[in-house]
Amino acid sequence: MSPPVFLAATDALERDGVVLDGPEGRHAATVRRLRPGERVDLTDGAGLLAECVVAEAGRASLTLDVLARHRQPPPSPRIVVVQALPKGDRGELAVETMTEAGVDEIVPWSAARCVTQWRPERREKALGRWRNTAREAGKQARRSRFPEIADLASTGDVAGRVAAASLALVLHEGAEAPLSAVEPPAQGDIMVVVGPEGGITEEELERLAEAGGRPTRLGPTVLRTSTAGVAAAAVLLAATGRW
């Protein structure tokens, strides 16, 4: 069985002995009930992972000895998914599954037909939920490098990112080119734009196409906005050799 993964500060992971306290230490000691001699992995979420063994277990903390360290280089190419805001808790579902699959950055997008809109007074709370979901899913998936959750983007912001990407694909059920036929670049950002439940408007599609976005279809069926991103990421991760 794989050892559990907990989040720790980068400077702590550089030491030979680490005290894991706070919420992470409390969870490890009181919920997981880890005891001396058991294996634990710690990560800073930015590519550094320390293999550890429990030396001492307190009521709400663990003292760990570091056995080995591994640094994961930044992935190339990066997989970036622009996710239109889904309704209800499907946004967290999308973030969770894309994190587990290996997506490197998720950009929440306030598209025209989004049923859900993040009002200014609730935006930080909503972003916090997405970022917390990515962090917990990253630990569950044993990732040493967690995905970045960008700030809420407008259509103009998305168009700017599309123009800067090495390859930008806009998922659309009416597109002729299948995603499976795309030849991904070896470096840079591969961006996938996922529309809302009501679909991408013609105006948005035109604007993204003008910025360099290529309309692409996943297959003969229409997926939910909360599952289309992870399906597209899976195809691209396999095509780039990262899977």
What structural domains does the chain harbor? Answer: 5-71 (2.40.240.20), 78-239 (3.40.1280.10)
- 213 pLDDT band (50/70/90 cuts)? very high
pLDDT at residue 222 in the model: 85
pLDDT at residue 108 in the model: 98
Helix (H), strand (E) at residue 65: strand 62-71
Residue found by looking up tokens 């970022």 in the block: 131
Q: How much is the average pLDDT of 151-165? A: 97
- 61 pLDDT band (50/70/90 cuts)? very high
pLDDT at residue 2 in the model: 86
Residue found by looking up tokens 């903390």 in the block: 61
Is the predicted pLDDT of residue 220 greater than 90, yes or no? no
Is the predicted pLDDT of residue 172 greater than 90, yes or no? yes
pLDDT at residue 16 in the model: 92
Q: How much is the average pLDDT of 137-143? A: 95
pLDDT at residue 205 in the model: 96
pLDDT at residue 221 in the model: 87
pLDDT at residue 214 in the model: 96
pLDDT at residue 182 in the model: 94
pLDDT at residue 24 in the model: 95
For residue 239, what are the β-bridge partners? none
Is the predicted pLDDT of residue 104 greater than 80, yes or no? yes
Residues 42 and 3: their CA atoms lie apart, in Å, by 10
10 Cβ contact list (under 8 Å, min separation 6): 44, 46, 48
- 37 pLDDT band (50/70/90 cuts)? very high
pLDDT at residue 219 in the model: 86
Is the predicted pLDDT of residue 187 greater than 80, yes or no? yes
How much is the CA Rg of the chain, to the nearest whole Å? Answer: 20
Instruction: Report the sign of the C-alpha dihedral through residues 200, 201, 203, 209, in that order.
Output: positive
Number of CB atoms found within 10 A of residue 52's CB: 26
Q: How much is the average pLDDT of 122-132? A: 95
pLDDT at residue 28 in the model: 94
Say what percent of the chain tops pLDDT 70.
Answer: 100
